[in-house]
Amino acid sequence: MFLNVLIFCASFIPVLFAAPVTHSKAGVFHGRHLPEFDQDLYLGIKYAPKPVRFSPATLVGDAPTTDFNASSYGLDCTGYGSDTNTLVTGGWTKMGEDCLHLNIVKPKTNETGLPILLWIYGGGWQQGATSDPRYNLSYIVQQSAEMNKHMIGISINYRMAAFGFINGAAVKASGTQNLGLRDQRLALQWVNRHISSFGGDPSKVTIWGESAGAYSVGDHLNAYHGDSQGLFRAAILESGNSVGAPLNATYWYQPMYDNLTASVGCSHAANTLQCLRDVPYEKIAPYGNQGLEWFHVLDGDIITQPGQTALRNGNFAKVPVIIGTNTDEGFGVNGVNTNAQALEQLTHSKRWNLTHAQAERILELYPDDPTLGAPYGWGNRTWPQNGLQYKRYTGIATDLTMYAPRRLMAEEFSRFAGLVYSYRWDAPKFNNTPSNIGVNHFSEIPFVFGNTEQQITPLGNSTENLRLSRLVMRMWVSFAHGLDPNGHAVSDTVVWPKYKDSVSNFVFRADRSYIEADTDRMEGVAYINTLVR
């Protein structure tokens, strides 16, 4: 039995804190008390046993009399690497396939029926972990306690790269696509079944993610023709949406599958997929990424139609949402110098896959004028080392990837559901440098998690940064608690209107946040939103 843990306070005087214990149908969980936040943590709770590789996981069975140590994180699911020597040097000792677990952060309170804010990490569906200290939920849960709007924070692990999103003809035939999304759905089912034992309300779950995590949230909004199955009542999407990456890219995935089979000696097997299942983990793990990207696909089950189609037809869960992007999201598009290269990128990039006519139209709508391109707000300044048409193509990439789908989702959710709040994040990373300029992808993460640890996600000692962090955390808490981000009790803050009442964005800035009309790049964005990808 795990009766207590020894904690040392700042003065190095040993103090005994009673370890929290929760009895549930899933088991008896012995957690860990965090005195500096006055929170109880339950870490590394398995929601599924170790799955058969490249197969759907199953919900863990009930074990109401079994004791579980829930005082530390479990294995991470990042089961691949670019350096195979990490397997030899022990760099993967905390990674593996038995990694489907979740973590619960609960404020110390006698209240029950607490709302849930459930985090799904990003990382391109290729990397990420709940144990990443940048995703420490203690700070935002602490804000909920200070606001007297107590909530529970949950983070979930899921399989990634080939282990979570493998695809190809053999995978399609076996019906085992989108395994990472299925993992996430299974975690939501565990929460729905068991969170009341921890003082939570299963009917008050807000799913929340950034980047691939936000795209995952979008997939759950569209899943099963919009049937939430009672697993969530609201959603927050940071730098991601319900449109996402290309869904039909057979030309993309089959070569990756073939490369994977060749890398581990399965190319000539009678059943290549079974061969991949039988290969020792240490042999296959280094090749899980294949140097490319495994994404979600149309599988006829979870995802039955492209995101644009689901939005236009109203085939999504009609729940309140917060959705937004950062000002300059067009990452990874360096090296474009000429119109010909821009056309080549747009028509041959696996990320865009546009026709020649579509690409030409986009170049007409986004002229090679540095004053119009991204990073925005820099006038004529250019970064030729990144490409002579860097600002033009970054602007195009920002809108194709994030900005246009965000507007489409805000419009269609407003039309069918009504309760939508849209934002633009315009506060740069604290460590902004000339080589990493602009309000780019991931810029908001240090703020929304409020982590003040200088070596992790430094907000610095800036009063403005800390005030903005407090504001956004409290808005997220207010939304999770009462479906309205305005109940944050932060003075001198403008009211955030619903998108259907005011077609606008809340602009988060460190100096002073404000409301702007959502009218930037109207013609280009409207055209992009006609392209079903």
How far apart, in whole angstroms, are the C-alpha atoms of residue 496 and residue 487?
Answer: 10
Is 211 a catalytic site residue?
yes
**Catalytic: which of 101, 220, 296, 441?**
441
Among 123, 344, 76, 319, residue whose Cα is nearest residue 221: 319
Q: Which residue has the tokens 């009930």?
A: 62
**Of all helices (H) and strands (E), which one includes residue 530?**
none
**Catalytic: which of 24, 131, 211, 228?**
211
User: What angle is formed at CA 444 by the lines to CA 438 and CA 447, rounded to 5 degrees?
Assistant: 130
Count of CB atoms situated within 10 Å of the CB of 117: 27
**Catalytic: which of 210, 238, 293, 329?**
329
Q: Write the DSSP string, 249-306.
A: -HHHHHHHHHHHHHHTT-TT-SSHHHHHHHS-HHHHGGGSSTTS-------SSS--S-
How far apart, in whole angstroms, are the C-alpha atoms of residue 415 and residue 417?
Answer: 6
Q: Which residues of 469-499 are buried (b: 16+ CB within 10 A; e: fewer)?
A: bbbbbbbbbbbbbebebbebebeebeebbeb
Contact 123, 160 (CB under 8 A): yes
How far apart, in whole angstroms, are the C-alpha atoms of residue 533 and residue 524?
Answer: 16
The dihedrals phi and psi of 87, each to the nearest 5 degrees, come to -70, -35
Is 329 a catalytic site residue?
yes
Q: How far is CA 186 from CA 100, 179, 236, 302, 315, in A?
A: 9, 10, 19, 12, 21
Contact 48, 186 (CB under 8 A): yes
Question: Which 3 state secondary structure label does DSSP give 506?
Answer: strand
Is 360 a catalytic site residue?
no
Point out the residues that are catalytic.
211, 329, 441
